[in-house]
Every structure is written in structure tokens, then in C-alpha cells.
Amino acid sequence: MWRGGSNTRTCKRRFFSSPTRSRHHRPPYMLHSRGSQHLKAMAEVDHLAAERATARFDVEEMKVAWAGSRHAVHVADRMARLVASDPVFRKDNRTMLSRKELFKDTLRKAAHAWKRIVELRLTEEEADLLRQYVDQPGYVDLHWGMFVPAIKGQGTEEQQHKWLPLAYKFQIIGCYAQTELGHGSNVQGLETTATFDPKTDEFVIHSPTLTSSKWWPGGLGKASTHAVVYARLITEGKDYGIHGFIVQLRSLEDHSPLPGVTLGDIGGKFGSGAYNSMDNGVLRFDHVRIPRDQMLMRLSQVTREGKYVHSNVPKQLLYGTMVYVRQSIVADASKALSRAVCIAVRYSAVRKQFGSQDGGPETQVLNYKTQQSRLFPLLASAYAFRFVGDWLNWLYTDVTQKLEAKDFSTLQEAHACTAGLKAVTTSVTADAIEECRKLCGGHGYLNSSGLPELFAVYVPACTYEGDNVVLLLQLASGKQPVGTMAYMGKVQYLMQCKSAVSSAEDWLNPDAIQEAFEARALRMAVNCAQNISQAASQEEGFYERSPDLLEAAVAHIQLIIVTKFIEKVHQEIPGHGVKEQLQALCNVYALYILHKHLGDFLATGCITPRQGALANEQLGKLYAQVRPNAVALVDAFNYTDHYLGSVLGRYDGDVYPALYEEAWKDPLNETVVPEGYHEYLRPLIKQQQLKLSRL
């Protein structure tokens, strides 16, 4: 995701030169400094040094565990610092920009990023990371993330040779035009038509209804010159369903819409800054003609005579792109969640409230058990999502290799896992970012905390690339007990087993955790199956029991996340104390899920109420174990202050001067006397032009 912003108007902070402001009118804090110069001039401090000194593990080695390799740490660190040191990528004033200013700034950042990529001859890995750290949603995301993969996945070799070189050099800019005003998750209900005309050897792309308007594609509104458009293929009077077509939308000379093409931006979106930097668009076609060879023809094609023909390439390859996109979304969930948690943990360590009644020092907010019980599970979740994302990336690579060999044995599992994990991780992350905002108290509501914008830019992930409820119901319809569903092959044992936990410490046994989660998931699934079998039809049963199926699907996905975390900590992990800390976080995650969904475990008879109480007791002990390591655990994410974009999450913990300084950057403070004073405030105060009515 790209997020960021810059504007010279607010950079200059005109109140310094305002004729109405004298030296005495300036805020006392600003008398001797401008902007960040004040902080630079201050003696360097680290208010979190004491916290870091209590860490019981090697932070540098934990960075490797988080990133996946030393190489990944070094490349990410280099790219993050490259972005942070470049003034073009400034983003601290992004929420103050108008929509037009924000979009222009996005174009400027994207162009500058491409310039730096070319100048520095960055590798694909480095370029991807640079764009990530620029941190501002824009057309580039959809160009690389959807347009290019669609052509690679669905285009013939000839089509790839024609279009990909143009896309790689940005000689064309593409988007992915699938969602319509009237249809999103139900792709088969799309209304846009592509009718083949054998007389001219062309497809006629048309929007027959208002609801057939393409609606939401990122990059479509203002930037894209081309789109992969999904439409109903009609030839010889027959509707062959949804297919992809490469359609030029705008002139490559002056960027104006081509004849028959109506398009624009759909308007402002939730939050300040945030996803408003993206030009989500609306698109309508009025009988637009394209050559026949612009139909993506890897899986099927239309002949010159208008015959619809399937190719030898298996249609299952279509799922490859979908799996890729969804595994990327899971990876993004861990990034967004870890950013929010980093901010909340650091600020909770800095912030002090209440404490001794005899005038002693106040207590760090992070020391309160209520703060720990809300925050530490989110910290554990960030690590859990990171490691399940790593596994999902491995699964995608494995599936891709097998698909090329026409081996579809793991495709169903990959499709189900990516759908379910996308749904669970995005929903949890969106809620967790908001929880982190609340954990930061009133200051978390400020734009300068970074949390409101992080929430606003992330929350669309719950609905794009598949509504989360729909995806979980798709998962619930899975059948084969293979891979992550292999535990269902132990149905006889798991239906009758009883947990052997007799003490709080027993819950530290990964086998005890694994068995409880497997039994819960299986019994919920079996219960759903039994209830559906009693319905008049399977379809009716599925419909009536869909809420239960939803909960069963969540239980299955949570089992996968717990299992992959357990597998991670069983690996050889170098570094003093690293494995022990990951083990603690793994246990926090598992027991927190057990505590949160205790009703499931009790209702299915997996554990007893006493065992549930013991799990909660052990969870409290684990929080105490995490506490001295909390700041170091978020340091291991290795985020620069620029990327975090939060005065509360500063590495040095010097939040109060930063908060104060940020306030004076707001355009409202450009003058001492506000605009509108003479028209509205002065007459009210002086009562010169108002006649008091008698009540």
C-alpha cells in the first residue's frame, strides 16, 4: 500500500511571515525554531532506553525471524531509509491536503519513485519494498498488483509479449475493471457485455444498464490508460459467461477518454488522507470496439468465424492469480497490524497515569493489567499473521509449480486457505487498529498519531477481493480432508477425546493446545453437517445454517494460524532468547483465542469450565512474561519513524514535544485571527449587528 503526502503551501507555514503576527504572538515553543529543526536541535534523548534494557532476547536476531532472512532485513532497512531520507516522500501533512492536492501529490510520489528505481537500477525486490515504504495508495498498486498479473495469468504468450513490455516500462498504465455498481462478490452476475462482431473481427464492449457501470477499480478514475475489463462474452447469440478483455480507455497523446468511454472518480472516501489518494473510478462503455485479439485467450478463445473454443490450458490456472492476490493481502494484514501495535506499545510505555497516592511517580500505562490484556494479544496476533503469511507464500509457490505440471492436487486447499485467511486476518486487523487507537487514549484520535489514517486506509481490505463473510462461507463448503484439513481424518478420536489439562502450566504444552483447537473445529463442522442433513435439501440447509457455518469456518482458520505458529517455534531459530519469546507469543495467541471463544470450546465439550479458567490463569502469567520484552518485540519490526507516521510511536519516545509541534502545522494555525472573524465572531462578540429577540 502507498500512503504519504506533501505540499509546499503548508510546509512554509505562512504564519511566520504574516503581517498580523508579531514575535509576541507566536507560540512560546516556536520562538526559537521552525518545524523539525527544533527537534533536531534538541539533545538526543531516548525515553524508551530503560524499556529496551529489560529485553531478554537478541533484538537483531528477532528482526531476522520477523523478516525471514538476514538478506530481507538488510534490503528492507536500506529501502526504508532511502524513502525516509527523501523529502519528496514527506507525508506528515497528508491529512491536511485537499483531495486534488492529495491526488497530485500521489502522482508526484509515484513518478519520483519510478525515477529512483530506474536511476538506482533497483531489483524487483528492492522496487517493491521502495513502493511499500512510500506508503501511499495509488494507481501503481493496481498496475503491478492486478493488471500485470491478470495478463500474465490469462494472456497467451503472444499477448504477454505484446502487452507486458509496455506495462513494465509504464508506457501504458493499467487497472483491473471487474466490480460493477450492481455486483461485487457475485462475479457471475456482472452485466457488462462483450459481443463478437464477425463482420469486423471485433468485440463490442457495452454497458447496457446503470448498474453495469464499472465501479471501484483503483487507478481507473484518473490515471489508467488501459484496463483488463471483465464482461459477458457473447458470440453467435450465446452467452459464454465472464471473460477478460484488454481495453484502451484514454489517449496516449493527451490522456483524454476515447470515443464511447465515460469515466471518472467515484468521490471521496472514509477518513482524511488515507485511501483518498487512490482514484477509484467509474466506467461506462457505449458500444466500444476492440480487436478480437484483445480478449485474454490463454484459457479460451473466439475464432475469426465467431466459434468459442476452449484451449488446452486447464481453467484451474485462473485461480493462480486469485491465490496470489489473497496471500498478498494476508501479508499486508501483518504489516498493518504490526504498525498499529508498535505505536500503541511504545506510547503505552511512555504514557503515565495515576499511581501512588503519596505523591510518588505515576504508573506507566503499559504496566496496567487491563492494558496488557487488550494489547499483548494484538502483539501476538501480529507475529502469528506474519508467520502464517510466510507459510501461505510457500503454499502459493508450491501450487504454482504444480499447476505448471498440471498437478491440481493442492489447488482446492490453497484456494480455501487463502479465502479463509484473507477473511479472518483482515477483519481482525481492522478491529485491532481501532483497538490500538483506543489504547492510546485521547491522543490516539489525533491524525498525528497515525492511527486514524492507518485504520481508514486498511479497512477496505475487509471487502475488496471478496467480502469476508462470503469468503468464509466458500471455505465452509470445502470437502477433502487433506493438508490443513487432514485433522478431519481423525474424526472418531477428536469427537470423543477429553483434554488432559489439570494445571495452568499444562496449557503451555503445544499438543494440548493443538488437540483442543482441532476438536473444537471438527465438532463444530460435524454439528453443521448433521444439522444440514436434516434439512429438506442441502441448499436449504446451507442457507439456514450459514451463521453456524461461518463460525465453523473461523474455527478452522484459527486452527491453521495456531498450527503454523506452533510449527514456526519448533524450527531451529538462532539468537539468544528469540525462540523463547516466540514461544510465549504463540501461547498468548492460542490461549487468547481460547479465552475469547470459550463458549465454542465449552459447548462442544472440548474442555471443561475448570480447564477454561486454568487457560485464563496461564494467560495472565504469559502477559507478565511479555511485559519486559514488549518494546523490544515491536522494535524487531524494524520500522522507521517515517514509515510509522506517528508522533506517538516515535522510536525515541519523545512524544509530547512532537505532539505540540505537530499542532502548529495545521493550516488553521496559519493566522492568529481566524478567517471569518470579522464576518461572524466580531459582530457576535460586540453585539453590534444583532438584535436580541425577546422570548
| CATH number, position 63 | 1.10.540.10
Residue 680 belongs to a domain: no
Whether residues 325 and 438 fall in one domain = yes
Residue matched to cell numbers 514575535: 23
Q: Which residue ranges make up the annotated binding site?
A: 179, 218
Residue 104 belongs to a domain: yes
* Encoded amino acid at 635, one letter: D
pLDDT digits (tens, 9 = 90+) for 62-114: 999 999 999 999 999 999 999 999 999 999 999 999 999 999 999 999 999 99
Catalytic residue among 465, 515, 518, 661: 465
Spatial contact of 68 and 420, defined as CB atoms under 8 Å apart? no
What does the block give as the cell for 399? Answer: 501450487
For residue 692, the model assigns a pLDDT of 54
Residue 463 belongs to a domain: yes
**Catalytic residue check, 465:** yes
Residue 17 belongs to a domain: no
Q: Among 269, 296, 313, identify where a domain stops.
A: 313
Q: Which residue ranges make up the annotated binding site for FAD?
A: 179, 218
Whether residues 234 and 299 fall in one domain = yes
Residue 333 belongs to domain with CATH number = 1.20.140.10
Q: How many domains does the chain have?
A: 3
Integer Cα distance of 464 and 430 in angstroms: 13
Q: Among 108, 136, 164, identify where a domain stops.
A: 136
Whether residues 327 and 437 fall in one domain = yes
Integer Cα distance of 556 and 576 in angstroms: 34
Residue 588 belongs to a domain: yes
Instruction: Name the DSSP letter for residue 308.
Output: E
Integer Cα distance of 69 and 53 in angstroms: 25
Residue 229 belongs to domain with CATH number = 2.40.110.10
pTM for the model stands at: 0.89
The residue ranges of the chain whose pLDDT is under 50 are: 1-43, 689-690, 695
How far out from the chain centre does Cα 622 lie? 28
DSSP H or E stretch at residue 524: helix 510-533
Whether residues 347 and 393 fall in one domain = yes
Whether residues 386 and 293 fall in one domain = no
* Encoded amino acid at 337, one letter: L
The residue segments making up the domain with residue 529 are 318-479+506-636
Whether residues 186 and 301 fall in one domain = yes
Residue 84 belongs to a domain: yes
Residue 13 belongs to a domain: no
pLDDT digits (tens, 9 = 90+) for 240-267: 999 999 999 999 999 999 999 999 999 9
Whether residues 470 and 566 fall in one domain = yes
Give, rounded to a whole angstrom, the gap between the first and last alpha carbons of the chain: 58
Whether residues 410 and 536 fall in one domain = yes
Residue 539 belongs to a domain: yes
For residue 405, the model assigns a pLDDT of 79
Whether residues 354 and 206 fall in one domain = no
Whether residues 90 and 184 fall in one domain = no
Q: Among 601, 620, 636, identify where a domain stops.
A: 636
Whether residues 408 and 371 fall in one domain = yes
Whether residues 201 and 257 fall in one domain = yes
